[in-house]
Amino acid sequence: MIRPMGQFKVEQRTKDAYFNATSLLRQWNEITGSKKELKDYLSNKATKELIATIIERENLNRDNSPYLSNRGKNGGSWMHPVLFMDYAMWLNASFKYDVIKFVYDQMIAYRNEAGDSYKELASAVGKLVGKDFMRVAMSKVARGINYCVFGNHETLIRNQYGDEKKMRELFSFQRKVADLINEGFLKSFDGTMEYLKMMFERMHTPKILLAK
């Protein structure tokens, strides 16, 4: 299949998702007037280290290495998607910026989502308790949510999880509790804690022990 990448068109195989490095290099040299060669990228020490890392992390072998070269109708040099991204960034500084900026923007969005969901929760809990009890209430609610999402609680436990899926589960759960309070389903602090207790039992009790 052909995928657009800025002003270039990159070819990707459906059978293994590998990209045609030869085609991209040809387009790059034609458009820019450059004379870059694939061998220069492959001989780079950092490239060799990346190839070794991909092989190790994804349990690849000689027949399915991150870099394959063949002749014929579909000939050329084909690269594993991770290697191809690095290769494209080596070719094009502008594309490298776009990739880094995209990752950076995702990190900022991720951080903002974390802050926003916590603020929504705090605002909702503030409707149930007075200012004097707010700090204690938020501590207990946050602790209860930690137990539900992580199955445990300890200081800074949220910082110990780099798993994006788990953290998004946390953000979603915080918003869920906030919505239940705002919509009137959870009418008190005690009721909120009872709800968290119920959810913990539902989420972490082995299914065989749950009453039918």
- pLDDT per residue as tens, the chain (212 positions): 887 777 788 888 878 888 899 999 999 999 889 899 999 999 999 999 999 999 999 888 766 789 888 765 656 899 999 999 999 999 888 878 877 776 677 667 766 777 788 899 999 999 999 999 999 999 999 999 989 988 876 765 555 555 567 778 888 999 999 999 999 999 999 999 999 999 999 988 877 766 55
pLDDT of residue 22: 93
The per-residue pLDDT for 61 is 74
Q: How far apart are CA 206 and CA 15, in angstroms?
A: 39
d(CA 189, CA 212): 29
d(CA 43, CA 41): 6
Contact predicate 21/84, CB 8 Å: yes
d(CA 51, CA 80): 9
- The type of residue at 115 is G
Helix 81-91 and helix 45-58, axial crossing angle in degrees, nearest 10 = 160
Q: Tell the residue number behind the tokens 């080596």, with chain if given.
A: 90
- Predicted local distance difference test score (pLDDT) of residue 116: 87
Q: How far is CA 18 from the centre of its chain?
A: 21
Across the beta sheet with 76-79, the strand order is: 19-20, 76-79, 67-70
The domains of the chain are located at 2-91, 97-209
**Greatest C-alpha distance within the chain:** 76
Contacts of 166 (CB under 8 A, 6+ apart): 149, 150
- Structure confidence at residue 165 (pLDDT): 74
* CATH of span 2-91: 3.10.260
Buried-state track 24-38, b at ≥16 Cβ within 10 A, e below 16:
bbebbeeeeeeeeeb
Q: Which residue has the tokens 């070269």?
A: 69
Q: To which residue do tokens 């092989």 refer?
A: 55
